[in-house]
Amino acid sequence: LFVDQPLADGITILIEGGQAHYLSGVMRLKAGDAIALFDDVSGEWRAEIEQVAKRHVQLRVTARLREREDVPDLWLVAAPIKKGRIDWVAEKACELGVARWQPVITHRTIVDKLNLDRLRAHMIEAAEQCERTALPILDEPMKLAKLLGNWPAGRALIFADEEGGVPMAQAVKPGPAAILIGPEGGFTDEERSAIKAVPQAVGVSLGPRILRADTAMAAAVSLWMGLAGD
Ligand code: SAM
């Protein structure tokens, strides 16, 4: 369970609201049971339930189970897509081990505002499910031109190009990387040439078919993780 407060040995934690209901009502936990907590800072801890009340659950942190993990230094730079599917992207980016998700606004991006709180909640839920102890960083959306203009020198820009590119195996090199995925309408020709003008950019193909943007994200990140090793 994610707790948004620093964890340490021996401290008492009070869980309230929906999380308390989940522990007592759904998981039916009772005093004496133990669960795992993480705070996205100090790793994962064992905590024992001291008291289950109607509106809260009191726990005592007893031992550290794992250090906060080092996730591979992969950024997902993806144009936001429509509501139902972008929640899925948030979940899969977390499960697949992305370190950071930088939403990028391109000419054909149809989604104009993002509910970052809702996306972060989906990431927290996914982290609890896949037992990540480090949450992905979720940035404010940024315009593509601004992003390309300040592209970090040491970071590979792996550009998923539905018009063709090298296989991922040829694009993956040791070191920090980012995977760039376009919106439902794809990139414009101007955007494509601006991306290719970035020295660190390499265009990759994800196969001969046009994938949905969310499919492309999951496919590209999985391929990279499988090759870069996480
Ligand atoms: N331009 C496409 C069209 O005409 O339907 C739409 C773009 S596609 C739905 C969304 C994004 O997924 C693309 O911008 C690209 O980043 C990625 N993508 C989709 N299929 C791909 C493929 N076969 N290889 C590489 N990237 C792909």
119-163 confidence digits (pLDDT tens): 999 999 999 999 999 999 999 999 999 999 999 999 999 999 999
Phi-psi region of 26 (alpha: psi -120 to 50; beta: other; left: phi over 0): alpha
Residues 50-59: tens digit of each pLDDT: 999 988 999 9
What is the residue with the minimal CA distance to atom 10 of ligand 1? Answer: 213
| pLDDT surpassing 60 at residue 173 | yes
Pairing of strands 142-143, 156-160: unpaired
How much is the pLDDT for 86?
92
In the reported structure, the alpha carbon of residue 164 is separated from the centroid of ligand 1 by a whole-number distance in angstroms of 10
Residues 197-227 pLDDT 10s: 999 999 999 999 999 999 999 999 999 999 9
Residue to mutate (ligand 1; options 81, 109, 162, 214; most atoms within 8 A of CB):
162
Ligand 1 neighbours by CB, cut-off 6 Å = 160-162, 181-182, 184-187, 205-207, 209-213, 216
Q: Which atom of ligand 1 is nearest to the CA of 160?
A: 26
Mean pLDDT of the chain: 95
- Identify the CA nearest to 19 among candidates 69, 52, 56: 56
Residue 112: pLDDT band by 50, 70, 90 thresholds? confident
Q: Within a 10 A sphere around the Cβ of 138, how many other Cβ atoms?
A: 20
Mean pLDDT, to the nearest integer, of 24-33? 94
pTM for this predicted structure: 0.93
ipTM value > 0.90: yes
| Candidate from 184, 210, 212, 221 with most ligand 1 atoms within 8 A of CB, to mutate | 210
Distance CA 32, CA 41 (A): 26
In our burial notation (b when 16+ CB lie closer than 10 A, e otherwise), range 115-137 reads eeeebbebbbebbbeeebbbbbe
**Amino acid identity, position 22:** Y
Q: Are 35 and 7 in contact (CB under 8 A)?
A: no
Query: How far is the centre of ligand 1, averaged over its atoms, from the C-alpha of 144 (Å)?
Result: 16
CA Rg, the chain, in Å? 20
Determine the 3-state secondary structure of 59 from DSSP: strand
Cα-to-centroid distance, 24 and ligand 1 (Å) = 45
Q: What is the Å distance from ligand 1's center to 47 Cα?
A: 45
| Most informative mutation of 85, 184, 211 for ligand 1 (most atoms within 8 A of CB) | 211
Is the C-alpha dihedral spanning 29, 31, 34, 40 positive or negative? positive
